[in-house]
Amino acid sequence: MKTFLTANDLGNLQSAVHEALELKKNRYAYKQLGENRTLLLVFFNSSLRTRLSTQKAALNLGMNVIVLDVNQGAWKLETERGVVMDGDKPEHILEAIPVMGCYCDLIGVRSFARFEDKEADYSEKLLNQFIHYSGKPVFSMESATAHPLQAFADLITIEEYKTKPRPKVVLTWAPHPNVLPQAVPNSFADFMNEAEVEFVITHPEGYELSERFTRGARVEYDQRKAFEGADFIYAKNWSAFRDPHYGKILSKDRNWTVDSAKMALTDNAYFMHCLPVRRNMIVTDDVIESPRSIVIQEAANREISAETVIRRMLSALG
């Protein structure tokens, strides 16, 4: 595996989940694989889980890990070609990326959508620059359009907790004060569309996601109706995708907050969220604290999804 951005990059998803669950039983089994190999994690945005779980995964595999927070201590980077660099950015990304590639064997990149240019975001311009100019295999740690390590961990978690062969999984929009990317719901939809689940998306009108990720998945605009009989409720906020509202907040309606009255409509569903979560905006205290909330177990599986991906990338290095 040379890049990791979509569910498709994992090949057969069922086998990938099986591989991950086997790895979880003995996460130190491949300690030799990463010997004298170095992973570089480049963060253009904040992170708690991705930062820790990806490092832990690499350490499990015996790798060395270097973490670069681009906005803390590195030179400010120009990203546009052709710019006269007489401003506040001393270095161009077109030198910085190949230099980063010199010091490592694999690279993970976190770089959120900027919402300045939809085409630049949805063509994964920055991630692709890493792929083309670093000379090293690259995986997304949440890039402009996708967060595949999260969605893979979510799928592993659903596999562990499901009690039916084909559970009903509901992705619900919920309110948030800030503009958030579509990366998490995009990847969740991408993975759920390939998994053995009944997948339903619910959101206010205007919050339709990109067809590239939803691929005809059922959308139910009535949140209560969507929740009926659900086995998993996956909450997330995102900003509008469709023009002319790309990257805009169209609603902060707290009627969409996940509360216990809505959870009562489900088939005793588990509650999931990628975290960080804004309590009493996205979900009430009682729901996230309830025994049916599996947000911590979900976060714990980030180590497993990352280890599975890094192991495959290391094996492909030869």
Q: Which one of ligand AN0, ligand CP, none interacts with residue 172, CB within 5 to 8 A by kind?
A: none
Using CB under 6 A as the binding rule, the residues of this chain from 87 to 146 that contact ligand CP are 142
Nearer to ligand CP among residue 78 and residue 299 (C-beta): 299
Q: Which is nearer to ligand CP, 275 or 300 (CB)?
A: 275
Compute the least distance from the CB of residue 113 to ligand AN0, in Å.
8
As measured in angstroms, the least distance from the Cβ of 183 to ligand AN0 is 5
Site string for ligand AN0, 271-290 (x = CB under 6 A): ---x-x--------------
Does residue 180 belong to the site contacting ligand AN0 (CB under 6 A)? yes
From 183, 197, 287, 310, residue interacting with ligand AN0 (rule: CB under 6 A): 183
Q: Indicate which single residue of 3, 38, 47, 128 sits in contact with ligand CP (rule: CB under 6 A).
A: 47
Order of strands, edge to edge, in the sheet holding 138-140? Answer: 3-4, 138-140, 106-110, 38-43, 64-69
Pick one of ligand AN0, ligand CP, none as the site partner of residue 48 (Cβ within 5 to 8 A by kind). Answer: ligand CP
Nearer to ligand AN0, 45 or 79 (CB): 45
Least Å from the CB of residue 55 to ligand CP: 11
- Report if residue 239 touches ligand CP, rule: CB under 6 A: no
Task: Report the distance separating Cα 130 and Cα 106, nearest Å.
Answer: 11
Residue from 156, 170, 184, 195 touching ligand AN0 (CB under 6 A): that is: 184
Q: In what order do the strands lie in the sheet with 218-219?
A: 218-219, 198-202, 168-173, 232-236, 270-272
Least spacing, CB of residue 192 vs ligand CP, in Å: 17
Query: Smallest distance, Å, CB 52 to ligand AN0?
Result: 13
Closest residue to ligand AN0, based on beta-carbon distance? 180
Burial 143-163 (b: 16+ CB within 10 A, else e): bbbbbbbbbbbbbbbbbebbe
Interface with ligand AN0 (CB under 6 A): 142, 180-181, 183-184, 274, 276
